[in-house]
Amino acid sequence: MFVNNSESDRGQVGIGTLIVFIAMVLVAAIAAGVLINTAGMLQTQAEATGEESTQQVSDRLEIVSISGTVDDSNEVEDLRFVMAMAPGSDPIDLNKTTAQFIGEQGEQTVVIDADATNEYVNNIQGVSDADNDPVLTDTSDRAEVVFTVGDGSDNEIDNSWDNLEEGEQLTVIFTTDAGATTQAEIRVPTTITDEDESVRL
């Protein structure tokens, strides 16, 4: 049998193969570009998510001590929190921190404001500009945040709250600007004497 393999037939087959090869290269290049772009976006999102998650865990406050000021009726009228930043935390601006109070008298959330009348910040150690912009920058920094519970005026956590009585319990949750929370359970002593000017809570 005679087979006619002319030069023109071989050229047509070669051009078709070349076109298919170029098309495959283009498709592979486009797919690679999409994968690289997607991987970059996922990496950026993962880094942002990881950073936010780390901040929510590490950028939190530590409560060093809690005490209360006793009034003439042997009730607690002021809550005093000595605050510090947790190890590994970035600087914490107390003016961007909220305090949520949950107790027998209800629930109230207060945004800490060094200039406000219902709470104030005292510089105990190392806090820069505590009167206006209190920022904890080191684990050795200490600041006292004082909340007036209820004294019959507008200078209180909530106008409907009264001073804390003996045995009364209260939960406070501090939330920093990064979203990290610190919770403490407060219990007023069951017995407060006339000699007590302040009590540990």
**Using one digit for the tens of pLDDT, what is the confidence trace for 134-186?**
889 888 899 888 888 875 444 456 556 888 999 999 999 999 988 889 999 99
The whole-chain average pLDDT of the chain stands at 80
Per-residue pLDDT tens for 79-131?
A: 999 999 988 888 999 888 999 999 988 888 888 877 766 667 777 766 766 56
**Which residues 6+ apart lie within 8 Å of 64 measured at CB?**
82, 83, 84, 142
The pLDDT of residue 154 is: 43
pTM: 0.69
In whole angstroms, what is the distance from residue 140 CA to residue 18 CA? 72
The pLDDT of residue 12 is: 58
Question: Is it the case that residue 23 has pLDDT exceeding 60?
Answer: yes
In whole angstroms, what is the distance from residue 136 CA to residue 86 CA? 10
Burial (CB count within 10 angstroms: exposed 0-12, middle 13-18, buried 19+), residue 151: middle
Q: How far is CA 124 from CA 53, 118, 129, 147, 149, in A?
A: 30, 19, 11, 16, 22
The pLDDT of residue 173 is: 94
In whole angstroms, what is the distance from residue 74 CA to residue 25 CA? 85
